[in-house]
Amino acid sequence: MSRAAIQPLKLNQVTIDGLFWGKRLDTNRTVTLKVQYEQSRGRLDAFKLDWKPGQPNQPHRFWDSDVAKWIEASAFSLATHPDAALEKRLNDAVNLIASAQQPDGYLNTHYTVVAPEKRWTDLKDGHEMYCAGHLMEAATAYYEATGNRTLLDVMAKMADHIDSQFGRENGKRRGYCGHPEIELGLAKLAAATGNDRYLQLATYLLDERGQKPHYFDGEITSRGHRISAAKEGHDQHERFDYYQAHKPFREQKDIDGHAVRALYLLSGAIDIARETKDAKLLNVCKRLWRSAVEKRMYITGGVGSRRNGEAFTFDYDLPNETAYAETCASIALAFVAERLLQIEPSNEYGDVLERTLYNGILSGISLSGDRFRYANPLTIHREALSPAINRVLAAPRAEWFDCACCPPNLARVLASLGHYAYSQSKDAVYVHLFATGRATFELGGTEVTLSQTTDYPWREQISFNVELDQPTTFAISLRLPAWCRKPTVKVNGKSVSLNAITTNGYASIRRKWSDGDHIELTLPMPIERVHSNAQVRNNAGKVALQRGPIVYCVEQVDAGEDLHRLVLPVDAPLKAQWEPRLLGGVMTITGKAKRQSVDGDALYSTAAAKWQSVPFKAVPYYAWGNRKVGEMTVWLREGV
Amino acid sequence: MSRAAIQPLKLNQVTIDGLFWGKRLDTNRTVTLKVQYEQSRGRLDAFKLDWKPGQPNQPHRFWDSDVAKWIEASAFSLATHPDAALEKRLNDAVNLIASAQQPDGYLNTHYTVVAPEKRWTDLKDGHEMYCAGHLMEAATAYYEATGNRTLLDVMAKMADHIDSQFGRENGKRRGYCGHPEIELGLAKLAAATGNDRYLQLATYLLDERGQKPHYFDGEITSRGHRISAAKEGHDQHERFDYYQAHKPFREQKDIDGHAVRALYLLSGAIDIARETKDAKLLNVCKRLWRSAVEKRMYITGGVGSRRNGEAFTFDYDLPNETAYAETCASIALAFVAERLLQIEPSNEYGDVLERTLYNGILSGISLSGDRFRYANPLTIHREALSPAINRVLAAPRAEWFDCACCPPNLARVLASLGHYAYSQSKDAVYVHLFATGRATFELGGTEVTLSQTTDYPWREQISFNVELDQPTTFAISLRLPAWCRKPTVKVNGKSVSLNAITTNGYASIRRKWSDGDHIELTLPMPIERVHSNAQVRNNAGKVALQRGPIVYCVEQVDAGEDLHRLVLPVDAPLKAQWEPRLLGGVMTITGKAKRQSVDGDALYSTAAAKWQSVPFKAVPYYAWGNRKVGEMTVWLREGV
């Protein structure tokens, strides 16, 4: 492996617009970011440090991270859409945050004003390093967008402070945060500042985690409390895997515990492996990646199937009605995919990135951009719509959450979408995502613009046009999604044989490119009937529909109640149909299905099922719940 | 309706033995009752009232009920199997209990020695009336078996005490118990003592329940606590329906809340309706019965599908893997069925009684008689066998439980099985259950013995022989189970036309019976493929096998792991086969099925499923978990 084999293009090198993403990104900038600011103002004010005991709005231990994600998302937006007012607001916020830093570098609103005597005494649940990690991410994004070092310096000082408190050296405590995040924050800080000490600190935090005796047990006993045994399966919050402290990271075989924590940690570990050229660590990371995506991932790219503990469970355990599949967990999975992609371009990673972006992540936000989901179940049953039953999973999208991790996470992912779309090495550009727009970069001493035009993911054709001043030799490497059986590529109208030039699902077209050269990539996207591995008991006998990267679902508003009575015959003809006025413009899948009749009142009977033929319509999963509230299902019974 | 239209025969009028029940009842008497005594000794000792603060084994609020159920079960056993040593032990126990009664009649070990100042202050959770109700049941069983009035008098005095404390009269509190039970206990006490005041007290307790303002709220505020709102679906213990206090009983439309509490209350309400000739109340009872058995009952006769709150949920919500289906709830359903049967003989009630006895109740106890289940799921998945996942539901049968309601409930039901088998009116005898044995009763002034010989439920033939001194006219009324499509009856070898003599599923053969007359009842029991109502989403596309009253399941020890990969084709030939050495002797169902192959590692794929033909074997559900621990399922995928 090589350090940073390829690098994502910077946000200001990429534009994304066009049919699918254009409106979503506009909405993110004009609606979601504004909602996020309004929701975060009180939490930003906490940095004034003027809260006094007895007053309302006591700064919570998570709050700093919400502010951080607003800064980060706004900075991403500034990078592509300069906005003097927004920049002014960001500068003010950053200066306020800087003013809250303590002389020793410590920075945390909750522990500074609410419980100063408890600083660093509850790493298990205190979220101090977690908040610092998010502020480090914000600092690097803000620095990259504006060149302003204020927050970067603040967070470097905070990192120095943490480094002075925690480590294996004498006089330091061997602690680490119960919620991983700072590991990847420190890696970004190291890259932005060039200071490798931050990477060493991240490495220490990664490797100390899960060592025995458990640091968290020591915390508990030093507060005079009794340690309760890790109660397997009983109270997830008592289990070390909730904190990614069940075993040292390098010894982990399966991805376990709280999904967001597991995947943030995995992201940080990949950063460390890449930057320290630690091939063994990278192998651990790939093992955990495969555990997540080959055994424990919903077809939507959702992960973490259990609400209790927001956790991964066990291989092939993918219940649909009770799927937790937290929006943040899908986003964290995209973080992991993107990092592995930069180390080794492969559609193994790029396809999951695409899957979760178009499905499990986008389902977390309404088309209007101002309603959000925390959990993303794959089936909503009729009774689940009643508040008495399962309300967290089945509730409609909400305006915000007390524990507000998901909405700002959505905002920052969408605001930085360009970051996921292209990478470059010294002699190649990589196209990971298909979206109308332009990427500008330098290769072989020449500035190149690669423009992309497509109605993807609805249409199969993607056109690339090369603009450059002088003919230059380099490779344009296109991801060929594994869902596509017969991709074709033409360069300047001539077919290219893909077998010879494709490695790990990336077709690398290396030639001397001239201005005006163009590529036609065609990704045929018939409607596919997808089945789960036979070991997934939850989907036995069921089928899901996918077209291109889009996973479909059926909603009650189209199909009536009791979606479990709907059966899609194996030979039912299905067609894709463009519906410009539905759900912001979507390709639907329509056809005929069967519906089991309710035949009498008997609860149990020996009578054979009775059927009627019914029209069938499926819509993209990401768009569910944007019409009338009702049932929904991704997996359908398949029949004859 | 008429008061006590028919009456069950007394236990000493009935013997039950033969192939199926003989061994089970022997085991109950020689193993289960002994285990129960050993487990209950410490709780019996609590009646010495010598516990002091700081000592171990503080009497718990449930303990008196465990002792009561041991006395009741033992008394039932004495009635059929005299045993001087057991009777001596019972007498000693009853004298000890009597010595614990307070001068004012109050009787409860926990509140007498642990919290005397809190007596009657926590009806919501204190279980004082619940324990009293069980002791009333014990008292009547003990009195009936031995003629000894000691406990009956003690409990009458306790009932008088309760009557002096609670009611609508001035100076009384309008309380009722959070766990229904005393209502049916008082009805038994009224019948045994002839004192109708106990019935009036039961009626008050029934009707005060659920009135507003809520008595339990008053209790909470008088302890200085804040009332938390009933949190729908959040914390079942905070919901009034957990306590059957969500609305007045007569206003209930659906059976809701904690299943055992709901069905104990329903049993008491039927007793009250019967004894007070309250036809409106009886209609409410029938409505709730139908809600339970027509919308919310597993095919095994299990009820209460949700572990959280041990509760009924909503119509057609019958999840298999997470089925709670508490053993006590099935037993309570049998109590309800038996009571309705005495009011109006109908196979609507008798069939459910039989269904739950042979399936959901018996599954609660091992063949060895010394291991017990609290929850009775209909599917056990591989991973559920790991203690980390769902351990309460999936754990193997246990030796006992801290909250030990189920094992003694099983013991008392089995010890009193004869009570469920026959009833009589002034001119008819009713046969509800089919089991080898004898029933002796007086009809038309003549003592009649009806002997029954059968290998039911394995074989279709049931022979009855009439023994009596002089020819007498009366009816022998036989339940014709609705699962049987073509029952036939011959009297002295001649076929009887059933249509004309069958009402509500009971064939009434009225004639002048002579000594030696015999009846041959044949209940053809082909293997039936049963489907759920289409509204049961949990069983969509699935089939269960039933033969006679026995519901079958497939176990991993016979079929391998991943039972969800097993598909039973609609035309798979199946045959019943007697296996005398398997599981104490069972009829198995064997044939051929298909098993979906695990085809590669892909989690999602467009490949069609691959199949192999495999031998198929199903065993009775009640016998599951008596061999190697493994997966189990009642509902099987049905295919072509």
B433 plus B320 within the same structural domain: no
Better-predicted residue by pLDDT, A264 or A237: A264
**What is the per-residue pLDDT for A308?**
84
CA distances from A74 to A7, A86, A93, A276 (A): 22, 8, 11, 31
- Which H or E run includes A441? strand A437-443
pLDDT greater than 90 at residue A586: yes
The one-letter amino acid code at B453 reads T
Q: Which residues 312-371 of A have a C-beta within 8 angstroms of B?
A: 313-314, 316-317
Please name every residue paired with A428 in a beta bridge, in sequence order, or none if there are none: A475
Return the SS3 of B436: coil
Q: Does B562 reach chain A within 8 Å, measured CB to CB?
A: yes
Query: Which residues of A fall within a CB distance of 8 Å from B352?
Result: none
How far is residue A634's CA from residue A381's CA, in Å, rounded to a whole number? 12
Q: Which of A198-207, B160-169, B329-338, B397-406 has the lowest mean pLDDT?
A: B397-406
How far is residue B412's CA from residue B414's CA, in Å, rounded to a whole number? 5
Query: Which residues of A fall within a CB distance of 8 Å from B383?
Result: 313-314, 317
The residue from A498, A522, A546 where one domain ends is A522
Query: How does strand A428-431 pair with strand A472-479?
Result: parallel
Looking at chain A, which residue has its C-alpha nearest residue B551? A604
Residue A105 near residue A160, CB atoms below 8 Å:
yes
CB-neighbour burial class of residue B218 (10 A; exposed 0-12, middle 13-18, buried 19+): middle
A1: in domain: no
Contact B390 A233 (CB under 8 A): yes
- Which H or E run includes B186? helix B182-193
Helix residue spans in A147-196 (DSSP H): 150-165, 182-193
Q: Does B297 reach chain A within 8 Å, measured CB to CB?
A: yes
Q: At what angle do helices B406-415 and B63-80 cross, to 10 degrees?
A: 20
Looking at chain B, which residue has its C-alpha nearest residue A538? B564
The one-letter amino acid code at B494 reads K
pLDDT greater than 70 at residue B33: yes
User: What value of ipTM does the predicted structure carry?
Assistant: 0.94
Q: What is the pLDDT of residues A400-448, one digit of tens each?
A: 887 878 889 999 999 999 999 999 999 999 999 999 999 999 998 999 9
Contact A294 B601 (CB under 8 A): yes
Q: What is the pLDDT of residues B582-621, one digit of tens each?
A: 999 999 999 999 999 999 999 999 999 999 999 999 999 9
Contact B604 A528 (CB under 8 A): no
The residue from B422, B451, B485 where one domain ends is B422
Query: Which residues of B fall within a CB distance of 8 Å from A606?
Result: 528-531
pLDDT band at A385 (very low <50, low <70, confident <90, very high): low
Looking at chain B, which residue has its C-alpha nearest residue A595? B534
Task: Closest CB to A232: pick one of B387, B533, B535.
Answer: B387
B46: in domain: yes
Looking at chain B, which residue has its C-alpha nearest residue A602? B533
Q: Residue B473 sits in which domain range?
A: 425-522
Residue A530 near residue A545, CB atoms below 8 Å:
yes
CA distances from B20 to B91, B345, B363 (A): 32, 24, 14
A459 plus A430 within the same structural domain: yes
The one-letter amino acid code at A294 reads E
Q: What is the pLDDT of residues A331-345, one digit of tens each?
A: 999 999 999 999 999
Q: Does A235 reach chain B within 8 Å, measured CB to CB?
A: no
Q: Does B48 reach chain A within 8 Å, measured CB to CB?
A: no
Task: Closest CB to A606: pick one of B295, B529, B604.
Answer: B529
Mark A388-405 as b/e (b = at least 16 C-beta within 10 Å).
ebbeebbbebeebeeebb
Closest of B175, B191, B188 to residue B126, by C-alpha: B175
- The Cβ-side half-sphere exposure at A274, using a 13 Å CA radius, reads 25
Task: Closest CB to B534: pick one of A383, A597, A606.
Answer: A597
B27 plus B139 within the same structural domain: yes
Residue A344 near residue A276, CB atoms below 8 Å:
no
CA distances from B383 to A308, A313, A323, A584, B561 (A): 17, 10, 17, 42, 10
DSSP letters along B227-247, please? PPP--TTT-GGGSGGGGT-SS
Query: Which residues of A fall within a CB distance of 8 Å from B605?
Result: 530-531, 533
How far is residue A555's CA from residue A617's CA, in Å, rounded to a whole number? 8
Phi-psi region of B548 (alpha: psi -120 to 50; beta: other; left: phi over 0): left
**What is the per-residue pLDDT for B396?**
79
Looking at chain A, which residue has its C-alpha nearest residue B600? A533
Torsion angle (degrees, nearest 10) of CA A263, A266, A270, A276: 150
Residues B308-337, mean pLDDT to the nearest whole number: 95
A46 plus A14 within the same structural domain: yes
Q: Does A594 reach chain B within 8 Å, measured CB to CB?
A: no
The residue from B500, B522, B544 where one domain ends is B522
Q: Residue B79: which CATH number?
A: 1.50.10
A434 plus A390 within the same structural domain: no
Closest of B321, B160, B191 to residue B268, by C-alpha: B191
In sequence order, what E strands does A514-606 have?
518-522, 527-532, 542-547, 550-555, 566-569, 574-579, 586-596, 604-605
A2: in domain: no
Mean residue pLDDT across chain A = 94
Task: Closest CB to B637: pick one of A540, A601, A606.
Answer: A540
**What is the per-residue pLDDT for A64?**
97
Please name every residue paired with B476 in a beta bridge, in sequence order, or none if there are none: B429, B509
B2: in domain: no
The one-letter amino acid code at A367 reads L
Closest of B68, B75, B28 to residue B44, by C-alpha: B68
A535 plus A634 within the same structural domain: yes
**What is the per-residue pLDDT for A1?**
35
- Which H or E run includes A452? strand A446-454
Q: Which residues 509-528 of A have a C-beta within 8 angstroms of B?
A: 528
Q: At what angle do helices B84-99 and B128-146 cross, to 10 degrees?
A: 140
Please name every residue paired with A235 in a beta bridge, in sequence order, or none if there are none: none
Is the bond preceding residue B620 a cis peptide, omega within 30 degrees? no
A217 plus A275 within the same structural domain: yes
Residues A281-298, mean pLDDT to the nearest whole number: 98
Q: What is the pLDDT of residues B266-288, one digit of tens each?
A: 999 999 999 999 999 999 999 99
A281 plus A165 within the same structural domain: yes
Q: Does A117 reach chain B within 8 Å, measured CB to CB?
A: no
Q: Residue A451: which CATH number?
A: 2.60.40.1180
pLDDT band at B228 (very low <50, low <70, confident <90, very high): low
Contact A567 B541 (CB under 8 A): yes
How far is residue B561's CA from residue B596's CA, in Å, rounded to a whole number? 12
B91 plus B132 within the same structural domain: yes
How far is residue A146's CA from residue B302's CA, in Å, rounded to a whole number? 66
Query: Which residues of B fall within a CB distance of 8 Å from A314?
Result: 383, 386, 389
> What is the dihedral sign for C-alpha A387, A393, A397, A399?
positive
Q: Does A279 reach chain B within 8 Å, measured CB to CB?
A: no
Residues A485-502, mean pLDDT to the nearest whole number: 97
How far is residue A592's CA from residue B385's CA, in Å, rounded to a whole number? 41
pLDDT band at B395 (very low <50, low <70, confident <90, very high): confident
How far is residue B164's CA from residue B201's CA, in Å, rounded to a whole number? 10
Query: Which residues of B fall within a CB distance of 8 Å from A313?
Result: 383, 389
Task: Closest CB to B603: pick one of A232, A294, A637.
Answer: A294
**What is the per-residue pLDDT for A352?**
98
B348 plus B365 within the same structural domain: yes
Task: Closest CB to B564: pick one of A540, A607, A637.
Answer: A540
Q: Does A231 reach chain B within 8 Å, measured CB to CB?
A: no
The one-letter amino acid code at B576 reads A
Task: Closest CB to A601: pick one of B294, B388, B608.
Answer: B294
CA distances from A21 to A434, A460, B333 (A): 10, 16, 58
Distance from the B72 Cα atom to the nearest Cα atom in chain A, whole angstroms? 35
Query: How does strand A632-633 pair with strand A611-620?
Result: unpaired
Residues B170-180, mean pLDDT to the nearest whole number: 96
The one-letter amino acid code at A47 reads F
Catalytic residue annotation of A? 310, 405
How far is residue B218's CA from residue A109's CA, in Å, rounded to a whole number? 42
Query: Which residues of A fall within a CB distance of 8 Å from B293?
Result: 603
Contact B602 A533 (CB under 8 A): yes
Q: What is the pLDDT of residues A196-214, one digit of tens each?
A: 999 999 999 999 999 998 8
pLDDT band at A2 (very low <50, low <70, confident <90, very high): very low
Contact A530 B603 (CB under 8 A): no
Task: Closest CB to B233: pick one of A388, A540, A639.
Answer: A388
**What is the per-residue pLDDT for B399?**
83
Name the percent of chain B lying above pLDDT 90: 89
Q: Does A529 reach chain B within 8 Å, measured CB to CB?
A: yes
Query: Which residues of A fall within a CB distance of 8 Å from B534?
Result: 562, 565, 596-599, 609
How far is residue A588's CA from residue A616's CA, in Å, rounded to a whole number? 10
DSSP letters along B496-535, please? E-SGGGEETTEEEEEEEE-TT-EEEEE----EEEEEE-TT
**Interface probe, candidates B378, B597, B603, chain A, greatest A C-beta count within 10 A:** B603
Query: Which residues of A fall within a CB distance of 8 Å from B531?
Result: 604-609
Looking at chain B, which residue has its C-alpha nearest residue A640? B640
How far is residue A616's CA from residue B618's CA, in Å, rounded to a whole number? 37
Distance from the A154 Cα atom to the nearest Cα atom in chain B, whole angstroms? 43
Q: Which of A357-371, A554-568, B401-415 has the lowest mean pLDDT?
A: B401-415
CA distances from A116 to A50, A351, A386, B577 (A): 14, 46, 43, 75
**Interface probe, candidates B562, B604, B606, B635, chain A, greatest A C-beta count within 10 A:** B604
Distant-in-sequence, close-in-space partners of A84: CB < 8 Å, separation ≥ 6: none
Q: Which of A197-201, B242-246, B285-289, B306-310 has the lowest mean pLDDT?
A: B306-310
B477 plus B578 within the same structural domain: no
The one-letter amino acid code at B523 reads L
Number of domains in chain B: 3
pLDDT band at B236 (very low <50, low <70, confident <90, very high): very low
Q: Write down the residue that tokens 């022989």 correspond to.
A: B465
**What is the per-residue pLDDT for B391?**
56
Looking at chain A, which residue has its C-alpha nearest residue B639? A639
Distance from the A556 Cα atom to the nearest Cα atom in chain B, whole angstroms? 15
B230 plus B372 within the same structural domain: yes
Task: Closest CB to B294: pick one of A531, A544, A603.
Answer: A603
Contact A533 B390 (CB under 8 A): no
Q: Does B84 reach chain A within 8 Å, measured CB to CB?
A: no
